[in-house]
Structure 1
Amino acid sequence: MSLTDTSKSSNCSAMSDVLNRIGDKWSVMVVGMLGRMGTLRFNELKRLINGVSQRMLTLTLRNLERDGLVTRTIYPEVPPRVEYSLTELGKTLQGPIAGLWDWSAEHHGAIVDARSVYDSRDVTVPTEPRKIAYARG
């Protein structure tokens, strides 16, 4: 099934389901870091991903593992060593995420400038009171 025909509700559902997982900020960061750095331990990921809390990283890794994008390997050592890496399916996201990563780095300055121009516009709100219609029951 192709996702090109968005008139089919199943295509919209599939797109929504996938984007809910891989479209969130932390998932993109985790997949991007694992794609660039290879296998990493939890604390290495946490140090590399600026601003992510321990709880959010745990939830993100759990969801990515559930979706088959990340694999979690536990080594029976004391203390236990846990490593995360991309699965074959997860590796297929490396290209799109690397493209998004590179695009963001290239265009961030232009976006910041556009925000500044937008925020400095004189947006005056009409002072005329609004008329409100009430329904009588």
Structure 2
Amino acid sequence: MFRIEAYTSESQIEHIDLILPIIQNQMEFIGSSKSLEQTKQALLNAMKPVSRAVLFIGYNESDAPISFAFGNVGVGLQAGDYFWLNEIHVDASCRRTGYASTFLSWIENWLKKKNIYYIATMTGEKNIASQKLFKKNGFDLDNIIWMDKELNQE
């Protein structure tokens, strides 16, 4: 079958070099092309000990990574701790099999065990497959306006 692991620090990640290609694949999909070394450094930075980041990796029966999700635990005045799901990616060979819903359900159960009862994410308006996945799994799809700003480094 498969197994899923949740990592809350870089020191816990088994065989980090084996998961980099699947992460890099997702980053390229969203328009952020980086080398494997740059991807590794970004992941190590995100998973540093002071972070509240979580990396979920799904492995197949051969222990090859087939999915990942990455996000951060935040705190809000309304809901207390919540989880912001930055990225989710399932290998093309596992799509349209129900695996993505199983993966997402496993993540939700892990979060509940950590007393996190609210999860949020976003996707592009043209990413219909992602919208269908989240809607199928009980997420509300709202119209929002995303605002961001890159701060200059001087």
Indicate the structure with greater helix content. 1
Point out the structure with max Rg over C-alpha. Answer: 1
For normalisation by structure 1, the TM-score amounts to 0.32
More strand by share: 2
TM-score by length of 2: 0.29
